[in-house]
């Protein structure tokens, strides 16, 4: 069971990281860019000539690692799944450099016995040399095995404000992207080493018939769909994205991204795996420059 006070005051400390254009390219390959190796737009993220950084790489920079597996959290980490991810970019991410990340747990919410718990972790990413704030992340995790913790700790926080539903009409744009069978194994090299995405036995213990794709990999695929269809692959136009994870994607599946234009600068987004008739991302909000 979650130890509320230990988790809320988790000693992350400042995390310094140096990353290179090799890391930038590896992240892009992990989310599927480069699947068409002669597409000039995709090559802007996977080839060093005129290289750009995918905006959602902010989700993996300065990561504290899979700290939920530390016994001091008290969490049933095998049953942890990604609930939502929200990123805001204040400046385009450099293709390489030195950053400092500051992580903290913003809230932990008890949904009740048998209903799980919700934890919100924030990470602010700064350029190490100038101190400039580059991006802010909010990671919302659903701990399926930890409902009822407040009966022991006596504490629980107000949960995060939910994302609004997508429009009740046909989407304006649809983009289909395929994931590789080995996508989870490639993506984990960008820092997500949760064995749920690599070890079949851990996946079975969590209730899945095989390892699942990282939620943040599907999140990156959503950014790819927006860059492709709405930004002409210009990463500087991408300002923020927030999305809810509603069902896992399995490596090798094709994902259909549905996009609604609410205005020139605001998009809504949902993603669907047609082969299983499953909505895998929902309630997405994207802001463009």
For 187, how many CA atoms within 13 A lie in the half-sphere containing its CB? 32
SS (H, E, C) the chain: CCCHHHHHCCCCCCEEEEECHHHHHHHHHHCCCCCCCCCHHHHHHHCCCCCCCCHHHHHCCCCCCCHHHCHHHCCCHHHEEEEEEEEEECCCCCCCEEEEEEEEEEEEEECCCCCCEEEEEEEEEEECCCCCEEEEEEEEEEECCCCCCHHHHCCCCCCCCCCCCCCCCCCCEEEEEECCCCHHHHHHHHCCCCHHHCCHHHHHHCCCCCCCCCHHHHHHHHHHHHHHHHCCCCHHHEEEEEEEECCCCCCCCEEEEEEEECCCCEEEEEEEEHHHCEEEEEEEEEEEC
Q: Does the annotation mark 212 as catalytic?
A: yes
Contact criterion met (CB below 8 Å) for 46 and 28: yes
Q: Does the annotation mark 243 as catalytic?
A: no
Q: In what order do the strands lie in the sheet with 117-127?
A: 15-19, 97-110, 117-127, 133-143, 80-89, 238-245, 278-288, 266-273, 254-261, 173-178
The single residue of 212, 241, 243, 259 carrying the catalytic annotation is: 212
The single residue of 3, 110, 192, 284 carrying the catalytic annotation is: 192
Q: Does the annotation mark 215 as catalytic?
A: yes
The single residue of 30, 95, 197, 220 carrying the catalytic annotation is: 197
Q: Does the annotation mark 277 as catalytic?
A: no
The single residue of 30, 215, 220, 284 carrying the catalytic annotation is: 215
Residues taking part in catalysis: 192, 197, 212, 215
């Amino acid at each position: 069971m979650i130890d509320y006070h230990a988790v809320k005051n988790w000693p992350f400390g400042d995390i310094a990281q140096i990353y290179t254009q090799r890391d930038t390219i590896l992240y892009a390959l992990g989310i599927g860019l480069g699947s068409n190796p002669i597409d000039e737009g995709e090559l802007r993220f996977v080839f060093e000539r005129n290289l750009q950084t995918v905006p959602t790489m902010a989700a993996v920079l300065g990561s504290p690692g899979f700290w939920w597996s530390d016994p001091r959290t008290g969490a049933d980490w095998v049953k942890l799944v990604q609930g939502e991810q929200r990123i805001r970019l204040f400046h385009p991410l450099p293709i390489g450099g030195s950053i400092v990340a500051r992580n903290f747990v913003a809230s932990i919410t008890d949904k009740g016995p048998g209903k799980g718990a919700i934890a919100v972790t924030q990470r602010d990413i700064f350029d190490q040399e100038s101190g400039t704030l580059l991006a802010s992340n909010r990671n919302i995790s659903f701990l399926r095995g930890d409902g009822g913790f407040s009966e022991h700790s006596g504490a629980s926080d107000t949960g995060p404000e939910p994302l609004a539903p997508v429009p009740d009409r046909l989407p304006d744009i649809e983009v289909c992207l395929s994931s590789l069978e080995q996508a989870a194994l490639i993506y984990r090299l960008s820092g997500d080493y949760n064995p749920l995405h690599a070890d079949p036995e851990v996946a079975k213990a969590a209730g899945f018939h095989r390892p699942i794709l990282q939620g943040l990999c599907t999140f990156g695929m959503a950014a790819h769909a927006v860059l492709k269809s709405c930004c002409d692959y210009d990463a500087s136009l991408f300002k923020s994205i927030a999305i809810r994870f509603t069902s896992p994607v399995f490596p090798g599946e094709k994902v259909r991204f549905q996009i609604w234009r609410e205005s020139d600068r605001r998009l809504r987004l949902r993603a669907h795996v047609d082969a299983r008739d499953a909505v895998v991302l929902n309630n997405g909000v994207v802001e463009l420059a």
